[in-house]
Amino acid sequence: MSGTKRDEVVVGAVTLVGIAIVLAATLWLQRADLTGARRGVTARFRDVGNAQVGQQVLIRGVSAGRIERIELADDGWVQVRLTLDKDVDLPPNPVVLLNASSLFGEWQAQVMSRSGVPAGADVAGQLREASGVRDVLPGATLPDIAQLTSVAGRIAGDMANVAERVQAAFTDTAAGELRSSISNVNALTGTLATTTRTQSQNLDRLAKELATTVGSLRSAAAELERTAGRADSATAQGELQSTLDDAAASARDLRATAANLRDVAGKLALSGDALARAIARSDSLLGRINAGEGTLGRLVTDTTLHAESAALLRELRGLTADIKANPRRYVNVKLF
């Protein structure tokens, strides 16, 4: 073999070796599954940020695979294909979070349980919106460091503005007003302390009165218990039953008396009606007498009859006097 052919063979061998090395390095960097020892998992996102193919996938902080493919779906979602080792088990109710892993723009995908997702309304909303597709894990994208830095910068600027406004507002006048407010607060504190002591004394007095009341109630309860004991004893000896029987007899008598009173009231009502009628008739009779009707009316109203009655009385008196004076003239007594 000549030197030229030998050089061509060496160059060809070196080229093939270089190509093989490049292919091996590419496959190693992309973690290509040539032995079928990996499995694929698909997740969908609204936005994947700066995530790229080949970046690592973590499960509980341990590298468990790589991002194999990122593509746009027809429904406006972004589907991300993850390749995981076959011996890796997914956590219960798994979700996928994309976030920055360093300050140099590198990202990573974390597979975790939904219960372990960091608190945040935006992340929860992304996961809720991405859920509902069979065999596809819901995914969410966390803000990267640049966004956090920008937000922190805006917050720092706002704080600086607030500090400037506070410094502008806190003048000598404001300081004097603040000292006056502090003095007023001290005076109010003293007033409150005095009021508290007064109310404490009132509460102590109220507590004593309450204790006295409780003692009185306890005594009343004891007296009531003794009375109940006496009532129980009277019940056991038949005295209470006798009293109840007497009360029942009295009630019967009262009912009989009430019935009698109702009868008397009825009779009085009838008598009242008869009396009213008699009074009406008497009134009518007196009216007729006053009008001079009948014998009594003429006797009452006729003056002639009165004069004659007076003359008759005078004659009767004279006759009586004459009989007394001369009884023999009028009475003859003969004895046989």
Q: Would the pLDDT of 81 be above 50?
A: yes
pTM above 0.85, yes or no: no
CA 214 to CA 216: how far, in whole Å?
A: 5
**Domain residues of the chain, as ranges?**
1-30, 36-143
pLDDT of residue 197: 82
Q: What mean pLDDT is predicted for residues 21-42? A: 67
pLDDT of residue 9: 72
**Packing angle between helix 303-325 and helix 294-301, nearest 10 degrees?**
80
121-125 own/partner pairs: CB under 8 Å, 24+ apart: 123/97
Q: Would the pLDDT of 167 be above 80?
A: no
Q: What mean pLDDT is predicted for residues 276-298? A: 71
- Write the pLDDT tens digit of every residue in 94-109: 999 998 887 777 889 9
pLDDT of residue 39: 81
Question: Higher confidence at residue 289 or residue 112?
Answer: 112
Please give the share of the chain, as a percent, with pLDDT higher than 70: 75
Q: Which two structure tokens, joined as six digits, stand for 24?
A: 């091996």
Supply φ then ψ for residue 87, to 5 degrees: -85, 5
Q: Amino acid identity of 12?
A: G
Q: Would the pLDDT of 172 be above 70?
A: no
Q: Would the pLDDT of 274 be above 50?
A: yes
pLDDT of residue 29: 57
Question: Higher confidence at residue 247 or residue 9?
Answer: 247
Please give the share of the chain, as a percent, with pLDDT higher than 90: 4
Q: Would the pLDDT of 62 be above 80?
A: yes
Residues 6+ apart with CB under 8 A from 46: 76, 77, 78, 126, 129, 130, 141
